[in-house]
Amino acid sequence: MTALSSILNQLHTVTTGPIRGSHKIYSSPKDFPDMAVPFREIPLAASSGEAPVRVYDTSGPYTDPDITINITKGLTPLRSSWLKKRQFQNETSPRMVKPEDNSFVSEDQLIPACPAPHTVLTGEGAKLITQYEFAKAGLITEEMIYVAHRENLGRAQTGAVTRNGEGIPSFITPEFVRDEIAAGRAIIPANINHPELEPVIIGKNFLVKINANIGNSAITSSVADEIDKMVWAIRWGADTIMDLSTGRNIHNIRDWLIRNAPVPVGTVPLYQALEKVEGDPFRLTWELFRDTLIEQAEQGVDYFTIHAGVRLHHVPLTAKRVTGIVSRGGSIMASWCLHHHRESFLYEHFDEICDIMRRYDVSFSLGDGLRPGSIADANDEAQFAELETLGELTTVAHERGCQVMIEGPGHVPMDKIKYNMEKQQKECGEAPFYTLGPLTTDIAPGYDHITSAIGAAMIGWFGTAMLCYVTPKEHLGLPDRHDVKVGVITYRIAAHAADLAKGHPSAKLRDDALSRARFDFRWEDQFHLALDPDTAYAYHDETLPKEKHKTV
Which CB, 3 or 552, lies closer to a second copy? Answer: 552
Which range in 87-95, 134-142, 195-203, 451-459 contacts a second copy by CB under 8 A?
A: 451-459
Residue from 124, 414, 422, 547 binding a second copy (CB under 8 A): 414
Span 482-501, contacts to a second copy by CB under 8 A? 489-490, 492-494, 496-498, 500-501
Helices (H), 193-312: 223-235, 250-259, 269-276, 286-299
Chain centroid, CA 478 distance in Å: 19
Show the binding pattern over residues 358-377: x = contacts a second copy (CB under 8 A), - = does not. ---------------xxxxx
| 8-state DSSP, 121 | E
* Residue 227 or 507 having the CB closest to a second copy: 507
511 binds a second copy (CB under 8 A): yes
Q: Does 508 bind a second copy (CB under 8 A)?
A: yes
Residues 6+ apart with CB under 8 A from 542: none
User: Which residues in the 210-229 window bind a second copy by CB under 8 A?
Assistant: 219-220
Query: What is the smallest separation between the CB atom of 290 and a second copy, expressed in angstroms?
Result: 33
Question: What is the C-alpha to C-alpha distance for residues 78 and 282, in angstroms, rounded to an integer?
Answer: 42
Q: Which among 158-166, 190-198, 201-209, 444-452 is the span making contact with a second copy, rule CB under 8 A? A: 444-452
Contact stretch for a second copy (CB under 8 A) within 300-308, 329-337, 427-435, 532-540: 532-540
**DSSP 8-state code for residue 242:** E
Question: Which is nearer to a second copy, 306 or 412 (by Cβ)?
Answer: 412
Do 285 and 346 touch, CB atoms closer than 8 A?
A: no
Q: Which is nearer to a second copy, 136 or 481 (CB)?
A: 481
Give, as one character, the DSSP assignment of residue 465.
S
Please tell me whether residue 303 binds a second copy under the rule CB under 8 A.
no
In this structure, are residues 302 and 265 in contact, taking their beta carbons and an 8 Å threshold? yes
Q: How far is the CB of 103 from a second copy (least distance, A)?
A: 20
| Residue 158 C-beta: closest distance to a second copy, Å | 21
The answer to whether residues 446 and 434 touch, using CB atoms and an 8 Å cutoff, is: no
Residues 3-32 that bind a second copy (CB under 8 A): none
Backbone angles phi, psi at 124, to 5 degrees: -50, 125
Alpha carbon distance 346, 466 (integer Å)? 24
- Residue list 454-473, contact with a second copy (CB under 8 A): 454, 457-458, 461, 472-473
Residue 61 as a binder of a second copy (CB under 8 A): the answer is: no
To a second copy, the closest distance from the beta carbon of 114 in angstroms equals: 27
Nearest CB to a second copy, comparing residues 57 and 196: 57
Contact in structure between 248 and 272 (CB atoms under 8 Å) = no
Spatial separation of the C-alpha atoms in residues 221 and 136, rounded to whole Å: 43
Q: Which of residues 230-249 bind a second copy (CB under 8 A)?
A: none
Our CB check for a second copy shows the closer of 235 and 473 to be 473
Q: Of 515 and 551, which CB lies nearer to a second copy in the complex structure?
A: 515
Residue 413 interacts with a second copy (CB under 8 A): yes or no? yes
Q: Which is nearer to a second copy, 95 or 475 (CB)?
A: 475
Which letter does DSSP use for residue 411 in this model? B
User: CB 528 → a second copy: shortest distance, Å?
Assistant: 11
Contact criterion met (CB below 8 Å) for 228 and 13? yes
Q: Radius of gyration of the chain from Cα atoms?
A: 23
Stretch that binds a second copy, among 119-127, 203-211, 306-314, 526-534 (CB under 8 A): 526-534
186, with CB counted inside 10 A (0-12, 13-18, 19+), is buried
Residue 422, helix vs strand vs coil:
helix
Q: In terms of CB distance, is 29 or 533 closer to a second copy?
A: 533
Per-residue x/- marks for a second copy, 84-113, CB under 8 A?
------------------------------
Phi, psi of 310 (to 5 degrees): -85, 95
Among 51, 125, 539, 551, contact with a second copy (rule: CB under 8 A): 539
Closest CB to a second copy among 193 and 452? 452
Q: Is 383 in the site for a second copy (CB under 8 A)?
A: no
Shortest Cβ distance from residue 541 to a second copy (Å)? 8
Name the H helices within 342-447. 345-348, 350-360, 381-399, 417-427
Total residues at the site for a second copy (CB under 8 A)?
Answer: 71
Task: Please give the Cα distance from 289 to 286 (Å, whole number).
Answer: 5
Residue 341 neighbours by CB distance under 10 Å: 7
Helices 223-235 & 250-259 angle (0-180, nearest 10): 40
| Measured distance CA(389)–CA(350) in Å, rounded | 12
Pairing outcome for strands 37-42 and 23-27: antiparallel
User: Per CB under 8 A, which of residues 304..323 are in contact with a second copy?
Assistant: 322-323
- Write out the binding residues for a second copy, residues 143-172 only, by CB under 8 A: none
Element (H, E) at 126: none
CB of 4 to a second copy, least distance (A): 29
Neighbours of 342 (CB within 10 A): 11
Q: How far is the CB of 399 from a second copy (least distance, A)?
A: 36
CB neighbours of 467 closer than 8 A, spacing ≥ 6?
Answer: 208, 209, 210, 211, 434, 435, 437, 456, 459, 460, 491, 494, 495
Q: Does 250 bind a second copy (CB under 8 A)?
A: no
